[in-house]
Amino acid sequence: MDFPPGAVLVGYTDGLVERRGELIDTGIARLTSAVPLAPPDTVCAAVMATLDTENPNDDVAVLAIRRTTPELAGG
């Protein structure tokens, strides 16, 4: 898998994207549209603010990793 400089990789638990009576593809599309090209802390904050994370039936966790270069890191 290509992971070019500036790319963001998001890992998540199923509670973030699965909803009863909804195709999982819908939840994944919702997550994908909520991910900004930004530093990891901003990505996580945006995802948690945008998606309905108040699902008491499942856990919710998100992890974001951004590949940087010296230019992107400010150095």
pLDDT confidence of residue 55: 61
Alpha helices in 1-75 (DSSP H): 24-34, 40-50, 70-73
Answering whether pTM is above 0.85, one says: no
Residue pLDDT, tens place only, 29-74 = 999 999 998 899 999 999 999 887 666 678 889 999 998 876 655 6
**Domain residue ranges in the chain:** 8-73
- For strands 8-12 and 62-66, give the pairing: antiparallel
pLDDT confidence of residue 75: 52
